[in-house]
Chains A and B, each alone.
Chain A
Amino acid sequence: MPVPAAKHKTSVVAIVGNPNAGKTTLFNSLTGSHQKVGNYPGVTVERIVGQLRLEGEQVEVIDIPGLYSLNPQSEDERVAAATIAGTLDGHKPDLVVCVVDAGNLERNLFLFTQVAEFGIPTLVALTMVDRVQAEGRNLDLSRLSNLLDVEVVPVVGHKSKGTEELKAAIARNLESPHVPALDLGLPVALETKVASLRERMARLGADFNSAEIRRALLRSPDDTEDFLVTYPEVREAFDEARAQLESEGLAKPTLDVSSRYAWASMVQRASLSEPKGPRKRTLTDKIDTFLTNRIGGLLIFGAIMYLVFQSIYTFSQPLMNWIQAGFDWLAGLVSPLLAGVPILQSAVVKGLIAGVGGVMVFLPQIMILFFFIAVLEGTGYLSRAAFLMDKLLGWCGLNGRAFIPLLSSFACAIPGIMAARVMPDQKSRLATILVAPLMSCSARLPVYLLLISAFIEPRFGPFWAAFTLFAMHFLGLLVAIPVVWFLNKKMLKGRRLPFLLELPPYQMPRLRDVWLAMYFRSRVFVKTAGTVIVFMSLVIWVLSYFPRLSEAQKTRIQQTAVSQNAAAKKEDIDKKIDEAQLEHSILGSFGHAIEPAFVPAGFDWRITTSILAAFPAREMVVPSMGIIFSLGDVDADHPGNLRGALKDARWPTGKPLFNAWTSVGLMVFFALCCQCMSTLATIKRETNSWKWPWFVFTYMTVLAYVFAVAIYQFGRWVGGV
């Protein structure tokens, strides 16, 4: 009888390591562009899986986010621990590659001691070997390997040197796995208790590793409540063991950590010699004399941030124009082909092409921003920027790193939200994402310029015009402060972690890592644009297209126009029909329906409808105002006669629709609301949940409404309206 062939199973290798240990470079060297960026189900943590080809075998490599400890306190760490423990995928990885920075051995080995306790075959990739050797320190690899009880493969930081050896070592360790056994020198009395409790819990079906039991035992009873509540049977045994440890003076919560560090320190002394001679100032020290200096450091920081912002805001323009021109060309090409079927023509040109095009123009900004982030992060400057800025952002619950995402959001919230991944923990990342859309992005600018040039500048002069423009940009930042404070206090759960920031030695980023960062972020964005955003564009198109005016209705509009002005041109009549069509559509009806709610803010249905119609892309608000104020398609950059049309617009009572207060109210509404489906789709993508986009949309709309009403009512009260 033939034995059925063993079911072929792809081996899974997990890569784990400290932040800044060179993990990303290593992962990129192993897998190249064969990476898939996804999400762990139900959490915001990203899951990056790559494919590695070994001789004859395809191996799946999971890149676990960089972390300092597997004692899980944040969402990332919970995911990391669960991936290694196998509770997330249903099976443990076949091999863990622990990335250890030779230049920072003690702290990196602390994480290694935790990894070793999962009982999984492990292998150490030792990075930055070149750096310690350059310092004249002697590294004894075989001794290190003996002490760690695993194979140690040195890889040279930047060049791919060592990658082939690492691949061979991975293949070897998959072939003949070896689980390290470490003696961390923990007191025997403690270890026997841990072992017996672990066994008891295993019999109850709870698979905890020794580290978890030990931690529960050493911590104060209050901290282990949730741990024991699920297993009341062991509570007594726990209390008994704890009492006994207390009598022996071993019940110290710090014991576990300090034993590991004592061990790590011993390993370092045994395998790596200290640098000879007195401590020398390193290159990093010298660079930092300038870059984190009290005055010069802030100036350089300002200059770098200015460059980043200018690049996203200004230098991206030609590229964005090309993309826009490309889509316009496509629309011009497709439009006549579909002229026979007006509904299809409109759906494709105004729904699909305009929708996707309106989003794809952001691609250059995203690529440029991620270029800078990859360079700033790769060199180590990002940490310095956070160091400089922490005091300014820290008091309201953000931290120094939030600077980049918030600054980027002034160009566009989409790259800004994506940039929030520089935040080290999920809680501060989420807080940053949720306030990023409050920053006044460049798509709001045309609206400000239109309204300021129509209602502020002619009456109050250029100084107040400039002041209004500045105030609109400042407003979002100001409002963000209490919002973050509130979010941190009331909404975002999870333990607050202390602010910990490592300043790694400076290094040259590897070009390939920079490119891959840009490539993967762009791919994620294009995928979002291609799915969620296309769908939403089509929905908005349907809402603004249907129901159609009947021929009779069109004729009536035509007749009215001619009776009012016998010389009316055909195109003017067509504009009237377009306006009537939009008013007649579902969107227009909805705009009418919500008009009563917006009357306190001084908005009529035309304003509400143009805001609704601009949902696919914020910069659409000027063109849609053009349609609704009967001007046909208006170029956002040259609103010319739209200004006049707005000045002439009146309520049915004959009162002018706009005045200074209404225009300020409308600008503030626009500054604070989240009328941008691409932003919402990006939040959905980044948080892996529809809950947060809904939340952002709601809170921003409420804020915008309250501010707009308050301004208009204040205007009425002081008699300005």
Chain B
Amino acid sequence: MVSQDRQTIQFSALKKGMRARIVRILKCPCELERLQEMGLTEGTEFRVVKVAPFGDPFEIDVRGYRLCLRKKETSCFEVERID
């Protein structure tokens, strides 16, 4: 069931172990194209594996591999939780 008004949240609000899907990529600066080239395209599902000891970066499982991202560099992603 897909609700009409999907609840999107900020990437950085996710916690360890949560699964989520990228709903929309806001108009992003050019350098963040690289995040998409790493496989974080619209509709991609991922899982937060771990957050580093000092609170950043966090490790996600996406497209079958492990990627670490810094919180502030994920601000252009709108994600929704899937459970």
B36 A257 Cβ-Cβ under 8 A: yes
* Given A387-B52, A503-B59; A254-B37 close (CB under 8 Å): no
1/0 contact string of B47-83 vs chain A (CB within 8 Å): 0001011111101000111111110010000000000
Contact of B34 among A103, A258, A265, A498 (CB under 8 A): A498
Q: Does A233 contact B (CB under 8 A)?
A: no
Q: State which of A5-13, A66-74, A556-564, A588-596 sits at the interface with chain B.
A: A66-74
**CB of B41, distance to nearest CB on chain A (Å):** 4
* Given A106-B39, A106-B64, A391-B55; A500-B30 close (CB under 8 Å): no
Give the one of B35, B37, B69, B70 with max A CB within 10 A: B37
Contact of A292 among B38, B44, B52, B67 (CB under 8 A): B52
Q: CA A383 – CA B56 in complex, angstroms?
A: 14
Q: A257-B33, A498-B32 are in contact. List 10 more A-B contacts (CB 8 A).
A: A107-B39, A261-B39, A293-B53, A390-B68, A391-B54, A498-B69, A499-B57, A500-B35, A500-B38, A501-B68
* Given A500-B35, A502-B65; A394-B56 close (CB under 8 Å): yes
**CB of A45, distance to nearest CB on chain B (Å):** 18
A391 B37 Cβ-Cβ under 8 A: no
Give the 10 A-B residue pairs with the shortest CB-CB distance, closest first. Answer: A391-B54, A503-B66, A501-B68, A258-B41, A69-B37, A498-B73, A257-B36, A106-B63, A294-B53, A104-B65
A contact residues around B52 at 8 Å (CB): 292, 387-388, 390-391
Beta-carbon nearest neighbor of A496 in chain B: B31
A contact residues around B64 at 8 Å (CB): 103-106
Instruction: Using C-beta atoms within 8 Å of the partner chain, give the interface range for chain A.
Output: 35 or more
**CB of B59, distance to nearest CB on chain A (Å):** 6
A contact residues around B56 at 8 Å (CB): 390-391, 394
A contact residues around B70 at 8 Å (CB): 390, 394, 498-499
Contact of A387 among B33, B34, B38, B68 (CB under 8 A): B68
Q: Does A286 contact B (CB under 8 A)?
A: no
* Given A73-B31, A258-B36, A495-B30; A107-B63 close (CB under 8 Å): yes
B contact residues around A394 at 8 Å (CB): 56, 70
B contact residues around A293 at 8 Å (CB): 53
Q: Does A253 contact B (CB under 8 A)?
A: yes
Q: CA A105 – CA B63 in complex, angstroms?
A: 9
Q: CA A69 – CA B30 in complex, angstroms?
A: 14
Q: CA A257 – CA B36 in complex, angstroms?
A: 7
Q: Does A223 contact B (CB under 8 A)?
A: yes
Contact of A390 among B37, B57, B63 (CB under 8 A): B57
B68 A500 Cβ-Cβ under 8 A: yes
Instruction: Using C-beta atoms within 8 Å of the partner chain, give the interface range for chain B.
Output: 20 to 34
1/0 contact string of A282-294 vs chain B (CB within 8 Å): 0000001000111
Q: CA A68 – CA B68 in complex, angstroms?
A: 14
* Given A106-B63, A500-B35, A501-B68; A298-B53 close (CB under 8 Å): yes
**CB of A233, distance to nearest CB on chain B (Å):** 25
Q: Does A643 contact B (CB under 8 A)?
A: no
**CB of B51, distance to nearest CB on chain A (Å):** 9
* Given A110-B37, A261-B41, A394-B56; A219-B30 close (CB under 8 Å): yes
1/0 contact string of A474-515 vs chain B (CB within 8 Å): 000000000000000000000111111111100000000000
Contact of A499 among B37, B39, B63, B73 (CB under 8 A): B73
Beta-carbon nearest neighbor of B51 in chain A: A294
Q: CA A425 – CA B52 in complex, angstroms?
A: 22
Q: CA A105 – CA B64 in complex, angstroms?
A: 8
Give the one of B38, B50, B66, B69 with max A CB within 10 A: B66
A69 B63 Cβ-Cβ under 8 A: no
Q: CA A522 – CA B19 in complex, angstroms?
A: 47
Q: Does A334 contact B (CB under 8 A)?
A: no
**CB of B24, distance to nearest CB on chain A (Å):** 10
Q: CA A288 – CA B35 in complex, angstroms?
A: 24
Q: CA A103 – CA B35 in complex, angstroms?
A: 20
A contact residues around B43 at 8 Å (CB): 258
1/0 contact string of B1-36 vs chain A (CB within 8 Å): 000000000000000000000000100001111111
Q: List 12 A-B contacts (CB under 8 A).
A: A68-B34, A68-B38, A73-B30, A73-B31, A106-B64, A288-B50, A292-B52, A391-B52, A498-B31, A499-B70, A500-B35, A503-B68
* Given A261-B39, A498-B69, A500-B68; A253-B53 close (CB under 8 Å): no
B53 A68 Cβ-Cβ under 8 A: no
Contact of B54 among A107, A265, A392, A502 (CB under 8 A): A392
**CB of B38, distance to nearest CB on chain A (Å):** 6
**CB of B31, distance to nearest CB on chain A (Å):** 5
**CB of B28, distance to nearest CB on chain A (Å):** 8
Within 8 A of B (CB), among A231-276: 253-254, 257-258, 261, 265
B contact residues around A261 at 8 Å (CB): 39, 41, 44, 63
A contact residues around B42 at 8 Å (CB): 254, 258
A contact residues around B57 at 8 Å (CB): 387, 390-391, 499, 501
Q: Does A446 contact B (CB under 8 A)?
A: no
Q: CA A68 – CA B30 in complex, angstroms?
A: 16
**CB of A462, distance to nearest CB on chain B (Å):** 35
Beta-carbon nearest neighbor of A103 in chain B: B64
Beta-carbon nearest neighbor of A285 in chain B: B49
B contact residues around A387 at 8 Å (CB): 52, 57, 59, 68
Q: CA A390 – CA B51 in complex, angstroms?
A: 12
Q: Does A397 contact B (CB under 8 A)?
A: no
Q: Does A297 contact B (CB under 8 A)?
A: yes
B contact residues around A288 at 8 Å (CB): 50
Beta-carbon nearest neighbor of A106 in chain B: B63
* Given A107-B39, A500-B68, A502-B65; A253-B55 close (CB under 8 Å): no
B contact residues around A257 at 8 Å (CB): 33, 36-37, 41
Q: CA A288 – CA B41 in complex, angstroms?
A: 27
Q: CA A103 – CA B64 in complex, angstroms?
A: 8
Contact of B65 among A107, A219, A258, A495 (CB under 8 A): A107
A contact residues around B30 at 8 Å (CB): 73, 219, 223, 495
Q: CA A660 – CA B57 in complex, angstroms?
A: 45
Beta-carbon nearest neighbor of A259 in chain B: B41
Q: CA A219 – CA B36 in complex, angstroms?
A: 14
B53 A110 Cβ-Cβ under 8 A: no
Contact of B69 among A254, A265, A499 (CB under 8 A): A499
A500 B67 Cβ-Cβ under 8 A: yes
B contact residues around A496 at 8 Å (CB): 31
B31 A495 Cβ-Cβ under 8 A: yes
Q: CA A504 – CA B55 in complex, angstroms?
A: 21
Q: CA A69 – CA B39 in complex, angstroms?
A: 11
B65 A497 Cβ-Cβ under 8 A: no
**CB of B55, distance to nearest CB on chain A (Å):** 6
